[in-house]
Amino acid sequence: MLLGKVTPVVDAYSPEILHAISRQSGRDSIGLKAAMPFHGVDIWHAYELSWLNLEGKPEARVGRFTVSAESPNLVESKSLKLYLNSLNNMRFASEEAFSATVIADVGTVAGVAVSLELWGVNDQEIAGGPLAGDCIDNEACADPASGSAVSLGVDGEARVEERLFSHLMRSLCPITGQPDWATLWLHYRGPKLDRVALLQYIVSYRQHQEFHEQCAERIFLDIYHLLAPDFLHLQAFYTRRGGLDITPFRSSEFDAQPRGRIARQ
């Protein structure tokens, strides 16, 4: 794994630098060994995609990778950045040829077919938008160290459908200990969540060391097991680092669709 290590600049095409991380290793830590109670995808935005056309002129794009949560592997983020940089001085006959190469290489490491959409750097398709729902960041919050899944609770006996989000999500890289910042969004129908307890729980992740995707799945399961909801969608919009942002989306419904990127990313 390249995280936490000094690495040289990679100037030549290097698909071998891509590094796989088993998803099951993270799921074992939350007792998820049988059928998963969720479906979903991981969405990666790559803001520093560049290659050369056949005349040697650079091309620049923003890309969106979509990787199924059912893939056996995550792709380690630093290795993906270095791999994409290794394409900067490689010549491709077309955008389609570039995309086909990247899809094949990343898919091989993820263990499943991935998709890659490319846009011009000013394309409005990738402009960040607002989130629907109520921001809970003005709720009371005690010592962050005291929060845990045990602190989650329901508010009364009513059943509701609501969308909630918080910009106060922070977790730590399990290798380097560096902070990863996110906006956490959820949409559910079931017993009403106690918003104070939910914010306390989210803030408790400030010292929690785990990869983005693993954090999202842990939070999903904690809320899902508490509420036994009719449905639950959860999305963690992590901000970019090294030209990449990661947005895990998990849902109890097979055909649920993730939200687009937000301005913070």
Catalytic residues: 173, 180
Q: Is the separation of the CB atoms in 186 and 163 below 8 Å?
A: yes
State how far the Cα of 247 lies from the Cα of 126, in Å rounded to an integer. Answer: 14
The 3-state DSSP class for residue 138 equals coil
Dihedral (CA of 193, 199, 205, 207) sign: negative
Indicate if the alpha-carbon torsion angle 220, 43, 261, 265 is positive or negative.
positive
Cβ–Cβ under 8 Å, residues 17 and 108: no
Give the whole-angstrom CA distance, residue 11 versus residue 38: 40
Q: Which neighbouring-strand residues pair with 251?
A: 39, 233
Q: Which two tokens stand for residue 236?
A: 């963690």
β-pairing, 20-22 vs 73-75, is: antiparallel
Closest CA to 108 of 136, 88, 83: 83
Q: Is the separation of the CB atoms in 206 and 222 below 8 Å?
A: no
Helices within the chain (DSSP H only): 23-28, 77-85, 95-110, 195-203, 212-227
Instruction: Write the DSSP symbol of residue 169.
Output: E
